[in-house]
Amino acid sequence: MSLRDSIIYILEKNRGSFVSGQAIAEEAGVSRSAVAKCVSQLKADGYPIASVNNMGHMLEQSCDILSESGIKANLEDFNGFVKVFDTIDSTSSEAKRMIAQGLNEPAIFAAEEQTAGRGRRGRSFFSPSKCGVYFSAVLYPGVALEDATAITAAAAVAVVEAIKNATKKDPKIKWVNDIFIDNKKVCGILTEAVSDFESGSVQAVIVGIGINLTTDCFPEELACIAGSLGKQLDRCALIADIFERLSRLCAVLPERSFMNDYREYSLVIGRSITFSRNGVDYTAVARSITDSGELEVLTDSGEIMFLNSGEISIRL
């Protein structure tokens, strides 16, 4: 780790508190003058750092700079790979490329901006700079293919709980994996599995997550329908929190215990919905969600159906 990264890590670890120049120097293994010089450069690069004689240096809570060291500082017992990009086509595409090149450890790929962000069913995900949190988590759950499908629900639960922790808002899950606040979409999740067909298991799972922090930079046609968290957040901490929650849930995937939380956070249960199946349009009431993630609905004609994929619309 470079001196710059070491100092960012130390300051991020103690965000909002002063750390003496001597303590930083000892931890980084350099002189106090080297620390002072590096801190001055970080300030010139835009880091909001307060420096006070006899107190040291403090990274202010308002810091909104996305960095590898910042993410790592918020992770506990993490022995994986973190990479942050200013601009990239898609963090999930980069994750795929790295896996193809031999990546075999947990990883986080994050970006300030995506030029080709991907959503479900081949859709694009608008990912402008400084407007959101865009990252992909690479996990190795070691489960059978049939259990891997539950990762999407696990990711939705992890995102909801991390947002609740960071904002005190009340996010809900629109089946299958969109997160809404006040009936507007604030987050999309795309899960992709890299499978080992010989063993019938999952080699790796890539979970791409995009969260809107503001829609001020959105075109009008999107701004009127998209939602956002509506406040400045520590993006490094939010990414780390989601990753750790998701990692814990992936450790218990076969048990599906998190499906109780998924149902609790559901936006659709008990509401009137519309959907299409085999070219036929239906109106129904969403009754429940099974542990396998299927949406149980009661159609207007009295038929009970179970949906395991596709799109639904909610009557708001």
Over the stretch 207-232, which tens digit does the pLDDT of each residue have?
999 999 988 888 887 877 899 998 78
Distance (Å, whole) CA 159 – CA 179: 8
DSSP output for 242-282:
HHHHHHHHHTTGGG-TTHHHHHHTBSSTTSEEEEEETTEEE
Distance (Å, whole) CA 290 – CA 11: 45
Whether 278 and 259 share a structural domain: no
pLDDT of residue 309: 84
Whether 53 and 191 share a structural domain: no
Whether 230 and 187 share a structural domain: yes
Whether 53 and 155 share a structural domain: no
Whether 82 and 200 share a structural domain: yes
Residues 6+ positions from 57 with CB-CB distance below 8 Å: 11, 18, 19, 21, 24, 35, 39, 49, 50, 51
pLDDT of residue 154: 96
Q: Helix 32-44 to helix 21-28 angle, to the nearest 10 degrees?
A: 100
Q: What is the CA radius of gyration of the chain?
A: 22
Q: How many domains does the chain have?
A: 3
Whether 130 and 245 share a structural domain: yes
pLDDT of residue 199: 64
Whether 38 and 94 share a structural domain: no
Whether 248 and 291 share a structural domain: no
Q: How many CB atoms lie within 10 A of CB 29?
A: 9
Ranges in the chain, pLDDT < 70: 120-122, 124, 196-200, 316
Beta strands in the chain (DSSP E): 49-52, 56-59, 81-88, 107-114, 132-139, 172-174, 178-181, 184-196, 201-212, 272-277, 280-289, 295-299, 304-307, 312-314
pLDDT of residue 128: 81
Whether 242 and 103 share a structural domain: yes
Distance (Å, whole) CA 149 – CA 5: 37
What is the domain extent for residue 173? 68-264
User: What CATH number should be reported for the domain holding residue 174?
Assistant: 3.30.930.10
Sign of CA pseudo-dihedral 123, 202, 94, 243: positive
Whether 25 and 94 share a structural domain: no
This model's pTM is above 0.75: yes
pLDDT of residue 145: 77
* Residue 9 exposure: Cα atoms within 13 Å on the Cβ side: 16
Distance (Å, whole) CA 98 – CA 83: 11
Distance (Å, whole) CA 154 – CA 159: 9
pLDDT of residue 142: 82
Contact 167, 246 (CB under 8 A): no
In this structure, what DSSP letter does residue 77 have?
A: S
User: What CATH number should be reported for the domain holding residue 284?
Assistant: 2.30.30.100
pLDDT of residue 217: 83
Contact 293, 176 (CB under 8 A): yes
Distance (Å, whole) CA 263 – CA 261: 5
Whether 260 and 282 share a structural domain: no
pLDDT of residue 118: 77
- Please calculate the CA angle 285-290-292 and round it to the nearest 5 degrees: 135
Q: How many CB atoms lie within 10 A of CB 161?
A: 19
User: Shortest CA distance to 73 belongs to which of 202, 241, 216, 227?
Assistant: 241
Distance (Å, whole) CA 10 – CA 28: 9
What's the distance, Cα to Cα, between the start and end of the chain in Å?
51
pLDDT of residue 215: 85
Whether 42 and 175 share a structural domain: no
Choose the final residue of a domain: 39, 59, 79.
Answer: 59
pLDDT of residue 310: 83
| Region of residue 267 (left: phi > 0; alpha: psi -120 to 50; beta: else) | alpha
pLDDT of residue 122: 62
User: Shortest CA distance to 195 belongs to which of 207, 204, 208, 182?
Assistant: 204
